[in-house]
Amino acid sequence: MSRQLEGRRILVTGGSRGIGSAVVRACTEEGAEVGFTFRESIDAARKLSEGTGALPLRADASDLSQMTSAVELFTGGAGDGGKDIDGLVINAGVYRRTSFPDLSSEGWDRTMDCNLKGAFNCVKAALPYMGEGSMVFISSQLAFRGTPHGADYAASKAGMLGLARSLALELAPAIRVNSIAPGYVDTDLLSSDTPQKRRQREEEVPLKRVAPPSEIAGPVVFLLSGSSSYITGATIDVNGGLFIH
């Protein structure tokens, strides 16, 4: 049986942990040649690379020059001298829980630089190598719902959706651009939950559980594959029914 991404070259940003790590694993299992960026998690990146064969690329998504260098390392050259990128997964991001009165302009800028400007940088760096292909933005349910103590994060994720939809119109028909909006996922963002808080989250979700990162990776693989060839400009909610709109 053929694998969905056989022979394709996929770049995943923020790939060393959480959803990004699951996407890297899923893409390699489906036959893709994968590179992934990471910023600080050297041990996690090394372990993931050893387990999957994916290429680790140290880069801060908020820095365009670093992202450009990472892309050139993955493709093996600059401009026409490099290999094509068939798929780009924009996942790098930060979430610092801060009430709005305590949110400084510097804190706002840090979130926007990583999440929204970082998405811009990833596309700018990779686009010259994408004659055809698919981009997948990892947004959030909070782009629609908002959240207390996370206005900067919710705004940045909503901005990502606007960017993705605009790119879907501009880059068609050669490149498809879609988004995933996860709900509660068992990553570092929920690591500080008390057992009571975890049960509360599970009760909020109609499917009565928090998703493992692998359940986000599956839809990402679908959007990267030929099975989604007539889908662009879409946002897929992967949230267990937590938010229906």
Among candidate residues 95, 153, 184, 230, the one labeled active-site is 153
In the DSSP assignment, the letter for residue 83 is P
Instruction: List alpha helices for the chain, DSSP H.
Output: 18-29, 42-52, 64-75, 105-112, 118-126, 142-145, 151-171, 195-204, 214-224
What domains appear along the chain, each with residue ranges and CATH number?
A: 9-235 (3.40.50.720)
**Token pair for residue 95?**
């979430």
pLDDT single digits (tens) 10-50: 999 999 999 999 999 999 999 999 999 999 889 999 999 99
pTM (global) more than 0.85: yes
Q: What is the dihedral of CA 226, 122, 178, 141, to 10 degrees?
A: 130
- The identity of residue 79, as a single letter, is G
pLDDT single digits (tens) 188-203: 777 777 888 889 898 9
Instruction: List alpha helices for 30-81, DSSP H.
Output: 42-52, 64-75
95 is catalytic: no
Helix, strand or coil, per DSSP, at residue 242: coil
